[in-house]
Amino acid sequence: MANPSLLILAGDGIGPEVMAEVKKIIDWMRARRGVTFDVTEDLVGGCAYDKHGVPLHDDTMAKAQEVDAVLLGAVGGPKYDSLDFSVKPERGLLRLRKEMDLFSNLRPAQCFDALADFSSLKKEVVAGLDIVIVRELTSGVYFGEPRGIFVEGNERVGINTQRYTESEIARVARSAFELARKRGNKVCSMEKANVMESGILWRDVVQEIHDKEYPDVQLSHMYADAGAMQLTRWPKQFDVIVTDNLFGDLLSDLAAMLTGSLGMLPSASLGAPMANGRPKALYEPVHGSAPDIAGTGKANPIACILSFAMALRYSFDMGEDAARVEAAVEKVLADGLRTADLMGPEGGTPVSTTQMGDAIVAALDAGL
pLDDT (tens digit per residue) in 134-151: 999 999 999 899 999 999
CATH of segment(s) 130-258: 3.40.718.10
List alpha helices for the chain, DSSP H: 15-33, 46-52, 58-66, 89-99, 123-126, 166-181, 197-213, 224-233, 245-258, 302-314, 319-334, 353-367
- pLDDT at residue number 265: 87
DSSP 103-151: -EEEEEEE--GGGGGGSSS-HHHHTT-EEEEEEE-SSGGGTEEEEEEEE
| Residue 259 · residue 120 · CB < 8 Å | no
Catalytic, out of 42, 239, 249, 341: 249
- 51 annotated active-site: no
- 225 annotated active-site: yes
Same fold: 1-121+261-368 with 130-258: yes
Model-level pTM greater than 0.85? yes
Is the pLDDT confidence value at 120 over 90? no
pLDDT band for position 1 (50/70/90)? Answer: low
Catalytic, out of 225, 236, 317, 358: 225
Is the pLDDT confidence value at 119 over 90? no
Q: For residue 150, with 0-12 CB atoms within 10 Å meaning exposed, 13-18 middle and 19 or more buried, which class applies?
A: exposed
For residue 158, give the 3-state DSSP assignment.
Answer: strand
Is the pLDDT confidence value at 278 over 70? yes
> Closest Cα partner for 25 from 271, 281, 318?
318
- Residue 244's identity, in one-letter code, is D
- pLDDT at residue number 277: 75
* CA-to-CA separations, 76 to 93, 150, 248, 337, in angstroms, rounded: 10, 26, 21, 29
Is the pLDDT confidence value at 256 over 90? no
Is the pLDDT confidence value at 261 over 90? no
For residue 215, give the 3-state DSSP assignment.
Answer: coil
DSSP 246-286: HHHHHHHHHHHHHTT-GGG-EEEEEEEE-TTSPEEEEEEES
Domain limits, the chain: 1-121+261-368, 130-258
Peptide bond into 215 cis (omega under 30): no
| Helix orientation angle between 15-33 and 353-367, rounded to the nearest 10 degrees | 20
> Closest Cα partner for 71 from 141, 2, 21?
21
User: Could you tell me which residue, 262 or 274, shows the higher pLDDT?
Assistant: 274
Catalytic, out of 101, 253, 317, 358: 253
CATH (one of 3.40.718.10, 3.40.50.720, 3.60.15.10, 2.40.50.140) for 1-121+261-368? 3.40.718.10
Q: How far apart are CA 332 and CA 317, in angstroms?
A: 25
| Residue 18 · residue 301 · CB < 8 Å | yes
pLDDT (tens digit per residue) in 166-202: 999 999 999 999 999 989 999 999 999 999 999 999 9
User: Could you tell me which residue, 216 or 253, shows the higher pLDDT?
Assistant: 216
Mean pLDDT of 350-359: 97
| Residue 288 · residue 13 · CB < 8 Å | yes
- 253 annotated active-site: yes
- pLDDT at residue number 272: 83
